[in-house]
Amino acid sequence: MKRIRVAMACVLALLVMLPAWAEVDLHASLNRDTAAVGEVVQLTVAVSGALTGVGDPRLPQLDYLNVVSTSSQKSIQFINGQMQTTTTWVYGIRASREGTYTIPAIEVPVDDRVLSTQVLTLRVLPPASASRPSPAPPPDLAPPDEPPPGTQPSVEPIQAITEVSNRTPYAGEQVTLTLRFYQAHSVMLIGNAEYSPPTTDGLISEPLPDGPQRTERLGNMSFEVATRQTALIAPAPGQYTIGPATITFRRGYMQPEESIQTDPITLDVRPLPERGRPADFGGAVGNLDLAVSLSTPRVRVGEAASLRLTISGTGDLRQIEAPEVTVDGDARVYQSGEERKIEPQQRGQEFAIGGSVTFDYLIMPREAGTLTVNPVVMHYFNPRSGRYESSQSAALSIDVAPGEMGETVIEAPGDELRYIKDNALGLHTRPPITSNVLFWLLQALPLVGLGLAYMHRAEQLRRARDPRYRRRVEAAAHARRQLSEISRMQQPAEAYRRGDEVLAEYIAART
State the average pLDDT over residues 394-419: 63
Instruction: Quote the CA–CA distance of 28 and 117 in Å, as a whole number.
Output: 6
The highest-level CATH class for domain 155-269 is mainly beta
- φ/ψ of residue 132, rounded to 5: -65, 125
Contact 343, 375 (CB under 8 A): no
308 has pLDDT over 80: yes
Q: What does the pLDDT look like over 432-451, one tens digit per residue? A: 777 777 777 888 888 888 88
Computed over every residue of the chain, the mean pLDDT equals 80
Range ranked top by mean pLDDT from 77-91, 151-165, 263-277:
263-277
Range ranked top by mean pLDDT from 319-333, 405-419, 437-451:
319-333
The residue ranking higher by pLDDT, 330 or 94, is: 330
Long-range Cβ contact pairs of 385-393 (< 8 A, separation 24 or more): 386/273, 387/276, 388/276, 388/277, 388/278, 388/281, 390/278, 391/288, 391/289, 391/290, 392/290, 393/290, 393/291, 393/292, 393/309
Task: Report the CATH fold assignment for 286-401.
Answer: Immunoglobulin-like (2.60.40)
492 has pLDDT over 90: no
**Whether the domain at 22-127 and the domain at 286-401 fall into the same CATH topology:** yes
Label residue 141 by pLDDT band (50, 70, 90). very low
Q: In sequence order, which residues have a C-beta less than 8 Å from that of residue 351 and are 6 or more positions away? A: 176, 208, 209, 229, 231, 344, 345
State the average pLDDT over residues 380-400: 93
Label residue 459 by pLDDT band (50, 70, 90). confident
Q: Specify the pLDDT at position 98.
A: 86
Q: Specify the pLDDT at position 409.
A: 34
Residues across the chain: 511
Q: Specify the pLDDT at position 163.
A: 92
16 has pLDDT over 50: no
Q: Specify the pLDDT at position 169.
A: 94
Predicted TM-score (pTM) of the model is: 0.50
34 has pLDDT over 90: no
Q: Is 502 helix (H, G, I), strand (E, B) or coil?
A: helix
Closest by Cα among 82, 76, 71 to 48: 76
The CATH number given to 22-127 is 2.60.40.740
Label residue 229 by pLDDT band (50, 70, 90). very high
Contact 51, 110 (CB under 8 A): yes
DSSP 323-372: PP--EESSEEEEEEEEEEEEEEEEETTEEEEEEEEEEEEEEEESSSEEEE
Q: Specify the pLDDT at position 405.
A: 58
State the average pLDDT over residues 399-415: 57
23 has pLDDT over 90: no
403 has pLDDT over 60: yes
Instruction: Quote the CA–CA distance of 65 and 96 in Å, as a whole number.
Output: 6
State the average pLDDT over residues 215-234: 86
Domain range list for the chain: 22-127, 155-269, 286-401, 439-510
Q: Specify the pLDDT at position 390.
A: 93
Q: What does the pLDDT look like over 86-118, one tens digit per residue? A: 888 888 788 888 888 889 999 998 888 888 999
Label residue 14 by pLDDT band (50, 70, 90). very low
Residues of the chain with pLDDT > 90: what percent? 30
Q: Specify the pLDDT at position 414.
A: 47
Q: What does the pLDDT look like over 172-204, one tens digit per residue? A: 999 999 999 988 877 777 777 888 999 998 999
